[in-house]
């Protein structure tokens, strides 16, 4: 069955520190992968997506993600976190009507 696992329910990092949010997926075909961010009281905003080609994908707000087929992972990274990055982050696989979301990782940023 297709699924997405985000192992970390919440993560706390200091402002200026690097960030990595983990995502593992199970998908029968070539996966289309997405990361979304949801700020409190807001809808989901697309950060980046991977369809094919270069396995390192650049997104908005300085985020990037790396697709590793051998590990079935699509981890999200940012070299230096800002206080405004505090939000919930969702990994998703599939696209279109087949989009399946993980349960999310809540990011806390401390000064």
What's the Cα-to-Cα distance from 74 to each of 5, 24, 40, 66, rounded to whole Å? 10, 6, 24, 5
| Touching another protein, residues 24-63 (CB under 8 A) | 29, 32, 34, 36, 41-46, 49, 51
Q: Is 98 in the site for another protein (CB under 8 A)?
A: yes
- H or E segment at 26? strand 24-26
Instruction: Find the part of the chain contacting another protein (CB under 8 A) among 18-26, 66-74, 78-86, 97-105.
Output: 97-105
Q: Which of 24, 35, 59, 94 binds another protein (CB under 8 A)?
A: 94
What is the Cα–Cα distance from 10 to 105, expressed in whole angstroms? 5
Distances from the Cα of 37 to the Cα of 54, 63, 90, 102, angstroms: 22, 11, 6, 12
- Supply the minimum distance, in Å, between the C-beta of residue 84 and another protein: 18
Residues found near another protein in the complex (CB under 8 A): 4, 29, 32, 34, 36, 41-46, 49, 51, 90, 92, 94-104
């Amino acid at each position: 069955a297709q699924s997405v696992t985000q192992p970390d329910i919440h993560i706390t990092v200091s402002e200026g520190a690097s960030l990595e949010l983990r995502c593992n997926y199970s998908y029968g075909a070539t996966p289309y992968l997405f990361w979304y961010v949801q700020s409190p009281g807001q809808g989901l905003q697309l950060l980046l997506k991977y369809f094919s080609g270069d396995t390192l994908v650049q997104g908005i707000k300085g985020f990037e993600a790396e697709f590793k087929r051998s590990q079935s992972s699509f981890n999200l990274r940012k070299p230096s976190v800002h206080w405004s990055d505090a939000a919930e982050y969702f990994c998703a696989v599939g696209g279109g009507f087949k989009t399946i979301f993980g349960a999310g990782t809540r990011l806390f940023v401390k000064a």
